[in-house]
Amino acid sequence: MKKSKYIDHTLLYANATEAQIRALCKEAVEYDFKTVCINPCWLEVAKEELQGSDVVPCVVIGFPLGAMTTEAKVFEAKDAIEKGAKEVDMVINIGRLKDGNDAYVTNEIRQIKEAIGDHILKVIIETCLLTEEEKVRACKDSVAAGADFVKTSTGFSTAGATVEDVKLMKDTVGDKAKVKAAGGVRNQDDFAAMIEAGAERIGTSRGVDLIK
């Protein structure tokens, strides 16, 4: 696969402006990234800027804490698809997972996947807050619910992706899902290491530097 197509070109800060989102989209088109990953309020801007390209808008749902109700996440996901999102990155309910309530976690992921249909669903498990056993369970829950990807991190918690976590996640999901590494992929060495470990998508705000 072309190197640039591994990249979800990302801008999720609360203080991101319209001008910055437009610049993000222009860079994504220029460098032929896979997606721009943005908050849902910028979908209309992204659609306008990406028109005519094969770069697609990806949005985050239940971001960054994952502690919203399932109903709120489902509504947010449906609304985003209706407004033009092609991929959805959702955050699991981390507290429910840590409580051992896998049925809740799986059901929530499944409802969101059903709400968005054939569109790509990536499940953010926030590895930095989980034990090894919890990471494995989160990946298994995601696969059981029909998710397309498991994703390491929001980039807004205590740490981002590690090579070890990507390997563990890939070993857990096998060929039943793909892995996205996000948070802390800052240079060419990081990028290559994540791909070698099994990541098939990279979420980063440094996409241009990685390609250059």
142 pLDDT tier (thresholds 50, 70, 90): very high
pLDDT score recorded for residue 165: 98
- What is the pLDDT confidence band of residue 177, given thresholds at 50, 70 and 90? very high
Q: Is 209 a residue whose pLDDT tops 90?
A: yes
- In order of 31, 90, 148, 202, 203, the CA distances from 5 in angstroms are 9, 21, 17, 9, 11
Whether residue 170 is predicted with pLDDT greater than 90 in this model: the reply is yes
Is the pLDDT confidence value at 202 over 90? yes
Residue 17 CB neighbour total at 10 angstroms: 11
DSSP-assigned states of every residue in 183-197: S---SHHHHHHHHHH
Q: Which position has the token pair 């801008």?
A: 11
Q: How far apart are the first and last CA of the chain?
A: 17
Per-domain residue ranges for the chain? 3-211
Residue 20 phi, psi (nearest 5)? -70, -40
- CA 120 to CA 138: how far, in whole Å? 18
Q: Which residues are catalytic?
A: 89, 151, 180
pLDDT of 20 strictly over 90: yes
Give the whole-number percent of the chain exceeding pLDDT 90. 98
> Is a pLDDT exceeding 90 seen at residue 153?
yes
Report the pLDDT value the prediction gives residue 121, as an integer from 0 to 100.
99
Whole-number Å distance between alpha carbons of 171 and 181: 14
Amino acid at 29: V
- Give the model's confidence band at 5: pLDDT under 50 very low, under 70 low, under 90 confident, else very high: very high
Give pLDDT, residue 212: 83
- Within 10 Å of residue 210's Cβ, how many Cβ atoms? 22
Structural fold of domain 3-211: TIM Barrel (3.20.20)
Please give the structure tokens belonging to residue 119: 């569109």
What does pLDDT average to over the chain? 97
pLDDT for position 8: 98
DSSP-derived 3-state class of residue 137: helix
Q: Is the pLDDT of residue 95 over 90?
A: yes
Q: Give me the percent of the chain exceeding a pLDDT of 70.
A: 100
Render pLDDT for 45-83 as a digit per residue (tens, 0 to 9). Answer: 999 999 999 999 999 999 999 999 999 999 999 999 999
Instruction: Decide if pLDDT at 211 tops 90.
Output: no
Read off the pLDDT of residues 131-140 as tens digits, 9 standing for 90 and up. 999 999 999 9
- Measured distance CA(136)–CA(155) in Å, rounded: 20
Residue 166's beta-bridge partner residues? none
Residue 159 pLDDT greater than 90, yes or no: yes
